[in-house]
Chains A and B, each alone.
Chain A
């Protein structure tokens, strides 16, 4: 571990890993509760168009990705709230549009090829520099601050939207807020695990955590812990074993889920046995 910290690029990579490991599952807890587990995937695909747009116009891809992903998230939320098309169909439409748009735009970029998209599709955490870490840190703090301030309202919204409305909550604003926060999170996590795997960090730690917990708060806290363990563990193993970091992080998270599933079954079974006897 000391060896790792002596390398500049690894220090940046570790900092980015911790920040993403904390934020993605925190947002993910609300997204899963809202039954929009695939929202991150939809936004991720749309963000690809944003990245390609950055290449085409010569602007920083992270910047264009944030803007396009946020617009995509707003579009998803508006289609969903209209209720005419079901949420998953709206998401599917954006999947295809985002991916096709990204490939088309990168083709139109002089000297651009789909190969330039690879590091965004699958992540390139070791290419993170000091400035990137600052951007990621600011965005991550912003995301966590929004969740801290609006958490109580978002809990009601994600639990039951009609109840939220009958309590006088600004449901349209809150729905857009959580969608945009998810979009920012996707772009933050893009460098670490890649756009195609981003949603895994928002969903898998939550799915793992909910095997073991009884309350919403504990689920979120434990999911954030699992998130950090997965990103840091995946990054470290990718360094020592020379494997792609994004894939290592996601596979580690999935392995954690499998273990939690077994442990959760066992705990629940012994709990039932206790209450019977």
Chain B
């Protein structure tokens, strides 16, 4: 479990990694309310980063801002060193939104939605190529939906729709995967499936940035956790769960305060735990 962390830190020292996302003093206000209050963050290639925090802490806003979907009210963001407006290599980014939009009730098959993930690799006047079709077939197989390819997405369960969204991103063969709450409202089987898919991607050297309220089975994959509280980064380093007994495989992560809605994944972490992990990072 600590192996990927060590590996990654080693890589960061020896190889000058490319920065996939960078935010410098990022501020965002929506309707006069400050959602992000001066966030500094850099995501290097090959990292597996989880943005954690309670509901309303600004997690989703942060990653949508990193993608250039929301304008900043202060500071700057960069995608592979370019401002979002000047960025051209969008095929390098695979965005997985929280929910599948049902498109006003117009039916669309699983294959149609997944095929649309190829859009940033296609040119306007050229027909769908054999490479496009092969990538879509691979993506469907990867998420275990090959047999549902011809079904309308509206007929799928929430967990299956989540897999369609992941397959759409996979089909584009991006370098970075950005997932917004991939574990929210998804059944345990689909969560494990997601963990397996992500593990494969990470092994292939892909960068993963995800937002989560609860990590669940994704926990062992994460190499770095960024914790937001009221629009500020309050922790940035290895995931604190990996301390002591929590790191043991098969450890059941029980939150003593789970029944309280809105209790973040982090509220159980002591400052000491976060501090000790931060020290470990400095080594």
**A residues engaging B (CB < 8 A)?**
29, 32-35, 37, 149-150, 152-153, 155-156, 158-160, 162-169, 206, 210, 213-219
- Chain B residues 109 to 154 lying within 8 A of chain A, measured CB to CB, are 109, 112-113, 116-117, 119-120, 122, 124-125, 150-152
Take A153-B119, A166-B93, A169-B119 as given contacts and tell me if A158 and B103 are in contact as well, using a CB distance cutoff of 8 Å: yes
* Beta-carbon contact of A214 and B68 below 8 Å: no
Q: Which residues of B contact A169 (CB under 8 A)?
A: 119-120
The 6 A-B pairs of least Cβ separation, nearest first, read A168-B90, A166-B95, A33-B106, A35-B104, A167-B120, A160-B101
Query: Which of A155, A163, A214 interacts with B97 by CB under 8 Å?
Result: A163
Q: How far does the alpha carbon of A210 sit from the alpha carbon of B104 in the complex, in Å?
A: 11
Q: How far does the alpha carbon of A180 sit from the alpha carbon of B177 in the complex, in Å?
A: 34
Q: How far does the alpha carbon of A156 sit from the alpha carbon of B109 in the complex, in Å?
A: 13
With CB as the reference atom, state the residue of chain B lying closest to A212.
Answer: B107
Q: How far does the alpha carbon of A34 sit from the alpha carbon of B102 in the complex, in Å?
A: 10
Take A210-B106, A214-B151, A219-B106 as given contacts and tell me if A159 and B113 are in contact as well, using a CB distance cutoff of 8 Å: yes
Q: How far does the alpha carbon of A149 sit from the alpha carbon of B152 in the complex, in Å?
A: 24
**B residues engaging A (CB < 8 A)?**
64, 67-69, 87-88, 90-91, 93, 95, 97, 101, 103-109, 112-113, 116-117, 119-120, 122, 124-125, 150-152, 168, 172, 178
* Beta-carbon contact of B95 and A162 below 8 Å: yes
Q: Which residues of B contact A156 (CB under 8 A)?
A: 116, 119
* Beta-carbon contact of A33 and B90 below 8 Å: no
Query: Which of B95, B101, B104, B124 interacts with A150 by CB under 8 Å?
Result: B124
Q: Which residues of A contact B69 (CB under 8 A)?
A: 162, 165-166
* Beta-carbon contact of A215 and B152 below 8 Å: yes
* Beta-carbon contact of A34 and B112 below 8 Å: no
Say how far B253's CB is from chain A's closest CB, in angstroms: 31
Q: Which residues of A contact B125 (CB under 8 A)?
A: 149
Take A159-B116, A162-B64, A165-B69 as given contacts and tell me if A29 and B107 are in contact as well, using a CB distance cutoff of 8 Å: no
Sample of 25 A–B contacts (CB below 8 Å): A32-B106, A33-B106, A35-B103, A152-B116, A152-B119, A153-B124, A156-B119, A160-B97, A160-B103, A162-B97, A166-B67, A166-B90, A167-B119, A168-B91, A168-B120, A169-B120, A210-B106, A214-B107, A214-B151, A215-B107, A215-B108, A216-B106, A216-B112, A218-B107, A219-B107
- Most B C-beta atoms less than 10 A away, residue of A160, A164, A217: A160
Query: Which of B104, B122, B150 interacts with A32 by CB under 8 Å?
Result: B104
* Beta-carbon contact of A152 and B122 below 8 Å: yes
With CB as the reference atom, state the residue of chain B lying closest to A36.
Answer: B104
Q: How far does the alpha carbon of A19 sit from the alpha carbon of B113 in the complex, in Å?
A: 29
Q: How far does the alpha carbon of A196 sit from the alpha carbon of B195 in the complex, in Å?
A: 53
- Most A C-beta atoms less than 10 A away, residue of B64, B68, B69, B103: B103
Q: How far does the alpha carbon of A165 sit from the alpha carbon of B178 in the complex, in Å?
A: 14
With CB as the reference atom, state the residue of chain B lying closest to A160.
Answer: B101
Query: Which of A152, A160, A163, A206 interacts with B106 by CB under 8 Å?
Result: A206
Q: Which residues of B contact A206 (CB under 8 A)?
A: 106
* Beta-carbon contact of B67 and A210 below 8 Å: no
Q: How far does the alpha carbon of A167 sit from the alpha carbon of B94 in the complex, in Å?
A: 8
With CB as the reference atom, state the residue of chain A lying closest to B95.
Answer: A166
Say how far A182's CB is from chain B's closest CB, in angstroms: 14
Say how far A212's CB is from chain B's closest CB, in angstroms: 9
With CB as the reference atom, state the residue of chain B lying closest to A217.
Answer: B112
With CB as the reference atom, state the residue of chain B lying closest to A149.
Answer: B124
* Beta-carbon contact of A165 and B68 below 8 Å: yes
With CB as the reference atom, state the residue of chain B lying closest to A84.
Answer: B31
With CB as the reference atom, state the residue of chain A lying closest to B150.
Answer: A214
13 more contacts with CB within 8 A, not counting A32-B105, A214-B107, are: A32-B104, A152-B124, A155-B116, A156-B116, A160-B97, A163-B168, A166-B69, A166-B95, A167-B117, A168-B88, A215-B112, A216-B112, A219-B106
Say how far A27's CB is from chain B's closest CB, in angstroms: 13
Q: How far does the alpha carbon of A214 sit from the alpha carbon of B154 in the complex, in Å?
A: 9
Q: How far does the alpha carbon of A76 sit from the alpha carbon of B257 in the complex, in Å?
A: 48
Q: How far does the alpha carbon of A161 sit from the alpha carbon of B106 in the complex, in Å?
A: 16
Say how far B105's CB is from chain A's closest CB, in angstroms: 6
Q: How far does the alpha carbon of A43 sit from the alpha carbon of B169 in the complex, in Å?
A: 35
Q: Which residues of B contact A216 (CB under 8 A)?
A: 103, 106-109, 112
Q: How far does the alpha carbon of A164 sit from the alpha carbon of B172 in the complex, in Å?
A: 13
* Beta-carbon contact of B172 and A33 below 8 Å: no
Say how far A172's CB is from chain B's closest CB, in angstroms: 11
Say how far A91's CB is from chain B's closest CB, in angstroms: 15
Q: Which residues of A contact B124 (CB under 8 A)?
A: 149-150, 152-153
Take A152-B122, A153-B124, A215-B152 as given contacts and tell me if A159 and B91 are in contact as well, using a CB distance cutoff of 8 Å: no
Q: Which residues of B contact A166 (CB under 8 A)?
A: 67-69, 90, 93, 95, 178
Q: How far does the alpha carbon of A160 sit from the alpha carbon of B109 in the complex, in Å?
A: 15
Say how far B77's CB is from chain A's closest CB, in angstroms: 13
Take A156-B119, A166-B95 as given contacts and tell me if A214 and B152 are in contact as well, using a CB distance cutoff of 8 Å: yes
Say how far A217's CB is from chain B's closest CB, in angstroms: 7
Say how far A167's CB is from chain B's closest CB, in angstroms: 4
- Most B C-beta atoms less than 10 A away, residue of A29, A32, A152: A152
Q: Which residues of B contact A217 (CB under 8 A)?
A: 112
